[in-house]
Every structure is written in structure tokens, then in C-alpha cells.
Structure 1
Amino acid sequence: MKSLKKQRRIQVIAVALVALTLSTVLIGYAMRDGINFFRAPSQVIAEPPGPDEVFRIGGLVTEGSIRRGEGETISFSVTDGGAVVPVTYTGVLPDLFEENQGMVGTGKYISGVFEATEILAKHDETYMPKEVVDALKAQGVYQDPDKDPEG
């Protein structure tokens, strides 16, 4: 009788371990394309990622850098104060996208140009993505819009 209970307990534990392993593998498989790491322009220039790596880049759109090409292709530069990365994007930009404003783009860094598949811009006058603020603070160029510049 005891060996039957012991055998049943071992079977339940084995099935639970198999189910746990299978669910972990399925979750990892589902998330393989859904995880995009953030990089500031200085990090991209210092350690360029491979051409197959999808990541997010963020910073301020450099003044005077927006160039509209043929069709829906737009090129511009993004900076964190320490480095400038050229960006190309084909599509419709967000309404609030403009020079000297924060942006985050998702895409790949190929041959020295970030080829964006998605561009996000600030959603109101004071918002800037946390990653962009952190990168700008690290470069010493971030100015808090809530603080009075006079003192």
C-alpha cells in the first residue's frame, strides 16, 4: 500500500515538472521577439549592435535634421547630448513629432543608420519617456521643464 502511494506521488511530481518545463519553454518562445532593449545614442555609437538586433533608441530630435524624402521616407537625427545617430523611417510620423522634442524608435542599426519600424513621440507638452530622461541626465543636458530657469 505504501509503495502505491509513493509511486503515485512520484508520478504527480514528474508530471508537474514536465508541465512547468513545457510552460517555461512556451513563454520564452512567445517572448523572443517581444523584448526590445533601450539604448541611448551614446551607447549605440560606443558599442554598435548587430544588424539583426531589434532595439529601441531614444533621445531628442536634432534641430534642423528632419529631411523628407520621396514618398513617406523621413530621415532625421537623434541625440542624447553625447552622440548623434542618423535615423530613417518610412511611414506616417506621430502628430507631436518635431525637432528638439523627445522620441523613442524601434528598429535596427544597419550600416551606421538606425532604420526605424516604429516612432513614438511625446504625448503632451511635458512628457518625455523615462529612458530618454535618464540618458539625457547621464549626459548632463536634461533640463526639467517644471523648474524655473531663473532660479
Structure 2
Amino acid sequence: MRPLRRQRMAIGLFLLFGSAITLGVVLFALQENMDLFYEPQKIVGGEAPIAKRIRAGGMVEVGSLAHEPEGLAVSFVLSDLRGSRFEVRYQGILPGLFREGQGVLVVGQLDASRVFYAKEVLAKHDENYMPPELLDMGEDS
């Protein structure tokens, strides 16, 4: 084999090997940071994985919100309004828009008893929402 051809083959193999390693690292990073979304029906039906970080969305059932007397622990029931419901437990300060009857998105893990332990709670709002600070600025004018 001529030296020029050998050099081209070495460069080609190096680029191919480097691309494969880069693709592997990117796919691994995406897999670690990707949270799949599950509806309440799928969580109750046992389709959601246990002890794996997932997202779930639904409506907070009216009358289900319970605050612990000590600390920031809260629990509530998330429903899809079609009969599927599950308990969510959260330790922290709830978002300002959080209320019963409101849509929320929770990020966390299910345990073996199908209780969802949320690490993050995001409250949904409609397109007409305006933060209180902006409302106050509008009244001052």
C-alpha cells in the first residue's frame, strides 16, 4: 500500500472512530436527561416505571391538598378527570399559581405503592395570565 493511501485510510478510520465516540456520548447524555411524560391513566395502569425520573400532568383534585403541620411537606391527588388518580407528595414551596382544580406538571419518581414523590411542581396557566408585579405596574400608571 502506498504511503498516501495509508495516510488517507488512517485519517478516515480516525474520523469514523471519533464520530462513533461522540455519538455515543451524546446519546448517553440525552438518555440520562430525558424525562418521559405519563398521563394519570398510564401511571395508575402500571405503565410508568418505578424509581425512575418521569413527568406527569393532570388536574389537582379539589379538596385533596393537605399540608403537614410541621415543615413544607404537602400532598395532593392528581387526576385526569376520567377517573384515574394518584397521590403526589412534595417537599418544598409550591408555585404561586398552584391551587386545587388547576392543571400541574410534576417531575419525580413513583415508588412501589404508586405514590409519586415530586422533586418539582410546575403550575400551568392560560394565555391571559399576568404576573402580579406587572398588574401592579399597570395600576400605578
TM-score relative to the length of structure 1: 0.76
Q: Which runs of 5+ in 2 are unaligned?
A: 130-141
| Corresponding residue pairs, total | 126
RMSD between aligned residues: 1.8
Distance between the aligned counterparts of 1:77 and 1:24, measured in 2?
Answer: 41
Q: After superposition, what is the alpha-carbon deviation per residue over 1:57-97, rounded to whole angstroms, capped at 9, x for unaligned? A: 00111111000013100000111123001100000000000
Q: 1:120 aligns with which of 97, 119, 122?
A: 122
Distance between the aligned counterparts of 2:58 and 2:34, measured in 1?
Answer: 20
Match of residue 24 from structure 2: 25
Q: After superposition, what is the alpha-carbon deviation per residue over 1:115-137, rounded to whole angstroms, capped at 9, x for unaligned? A: 0000001245668xxxxxxxxxx
Distance between the aligned counterparts of 2:94 and 2:126, measured in 1?
Answer: 15
Tell me the SS of whatever aligns to 1:56: strand
1:113, distance to aligned residue in structure 2 (A): 0.5
Identity of aligned residues (%): 31
TM-score relative to the length of structure 2: 0.81
Match of residue 59 from structure 1: 58
Match of residue 139 from structure 2: none
Residues 1:107 and 2:101 are matched in the alignment: no
Match of residue 36 from structure 2: 37
Paired residue type of 2:122:
L
Residues 1:80 and 2:65 are matched in the alignment: no
Name the CA shift for 1:123/1:67 in 2 (closer, same or farther; >3 Å): same
**4+ long deviations beyond 3 Å:** 123-127
Residues 1:71 and 2:71 are matched in the alignment: yes
2-11 vs 49-58, greater mean Cα deviation: 2-11
Name the CA shift for 1:80/1:126 in 2 (closer, same or farther; >3 Å): farther
Contact kept? 1:48, 1:109, Cα under 8 Å = no
